[in-house]
Amino acid sequence: MLSRFEDARARPDVPIPAKGVIIVFRHQMRARCPVRDLIWASVILLSHAALAVAFQSSVMPLSEYASDSPRFVLRLLTMAALVGPLLYMPISAVLGSFAAPPISRFEETQAMLLTRLSPFDVCAGRLLASLWPVISAILGSFALSLAAQLSRRTTPDGYTNVLMVHLVLLTSAIAVGAAGQLAAMRIRPGRVLARGIGIATGLAVFSVSGLFLANSTIQRMEDPTRLIYAALLINPAVAATTALQADVLRIPSIYARTDAHDYPFLYPPPAATCAVFAGCGAVALALSSLWLRRAYR
- Helix, strand or coil, per DSSP, at residue 171: helix
Per the structure, how many domains does the chain have?
Answer: 1
| Residue 8 in domain | no
For 96, counting Cβ atoms within 10 Å of its Cβ (0-12 exposed, 13-18 middle, 19+ buried), the class is: buried
Q: Is the pLDDT of residue 88 over 70?
A: yes
| Residue 90 in domain | yes
Domain that holds residue 226: 17-295
| Residue 141 in domain | yes
Q: Output DSSP code: residue 191.
A: B
Query: How far apart, in whole angstroms, are the C-alpha atoms of residue 245 and residue 215?
Result: 24
Q: Are 96 and 178 in contact (CB under 8 A)?
A: yes
pLDDT tens per residue across span 190-233: 899 999 999 999 999 999 999 899 888 888 888 898 999 999 99
Supply the angle between the helices 158-184 and 270-295 in degrees, to the nearest 10: 30
Q: How confident is the model at residue 129 (pLDDT cuts 50, 70, 90)?
A: very high
Between the CA of residue 226 and those of 214, 221, 241, 249, what are the distances in Å? 12, 11, 20, 16
Between the CA of residue 73 and those of 205, 218, 254, 284, what are the distances in Å? 28, 34, 21, 37
| Residue 12 in domain | no
| For range 157-182, the mean pLDDT | 93
Q: Are 122 and 24 in contact (CB under 8 A)?
A: yes
pLDDT tens per residue across span 27-49: 999 989 999 999 999 999 999 99
| Residue 63 in domain | yes
| Residue 2 in domain | no
| Residue 207 in domain | yes
Query: How far apart, in whole angstroms, are the C-alpha atoms of residue 243 and residue 266?
Result: 13
| For range 17-35, the mean pLDDT | 89
| Residue 155 in domain | yes
Predicted pLDDT of residue 156: 59
Give the burial string for 208-229 (b: 16+ CB within 10 Å, else e): bebbeebeeebeeeeebeebbe
